[in-house]
Amino acid sequence: MFSLEIETLARLLIDEARERSLRIVTAESCTGGLVAGAICSIPGASDVFERGFVVYTNRAKQELLGVPGDLIADLGAVSEPVARMMAEGALEASNAHVAVAVTGVAGPGGGTPMKPVGTVHIATARSNQALMHRSELFDGVTRADIQEQAVQAALQALRDRMT
């Protein structure tokens, strides 16, 4: 179902989280649950995967993760502050230790000159540590290309938070 690179990253992530006794939560918009799906496709994921939030609409981001509506209205759902709030909200709404949030423009439409198709914000949060963020501009021919690259980047971002 997933590429070898994604399966490998997910397997490594699970092993590293298990070694550190850390539980993981995901908060996803443009990836629609694919990060959680990649993690859960690996046997033993239940040892470390706590839950996942698919918050595709702005309202879902507000209701499930506590992202302020005025923040979304001012900056748009595809922004660093919203990604950070999604990660923080997922951590607070779960029993996990590490969270990843993904929000972006997967295309083929919906892009703007300021936020072209392929723009993705990934934020990670870890209990009692600073939030981390990265912005990507993925180049893909299809929506699936961009989503796959976003999943891979999100898994790597989670791995980076394990240490």
The pLDDT, as a whole number, for residue 141 is 86
Q: Is the pTM of this model over 0.75?
A: yes
Exposure b/e, 80-103, CB count within 10 A at least 16 = b: bbbbbbbbbbbbebbebbbbbbbb
pLDDT at 163: 82
Count CB neighbours of 146 within 10 A. 26
- Residue 135 to residue 83: CA distance in whole angstroms: 10
Helix (H, G, I), strand (E, B) or coil at 101: strand
- The alpha carbon dihedral of 28, 69, 87, 122 has a sign of positive
User: What is the full per-residue pLDDT of the chain (163 aa) written as tens digits?
Assistant: 999 999 999 999 999 999 999 999 999 999 999 999 999 999 999 999 999 999 999 999 999 999 999 999 999 999 999 999 999 999 999 999 999 999 999 999 999 999 999 999 999 999 999 999 999 999 988 999 999 999 999 999 999 999 8
Task: Yes or no: say if 116 and 105 are a contact pair by the CB < 8 Å rule.
Answer: yes
Laid out side by side, the sheet with 24-28 consists of 49-54, 24-28, 98-104, 119-126, 132-137
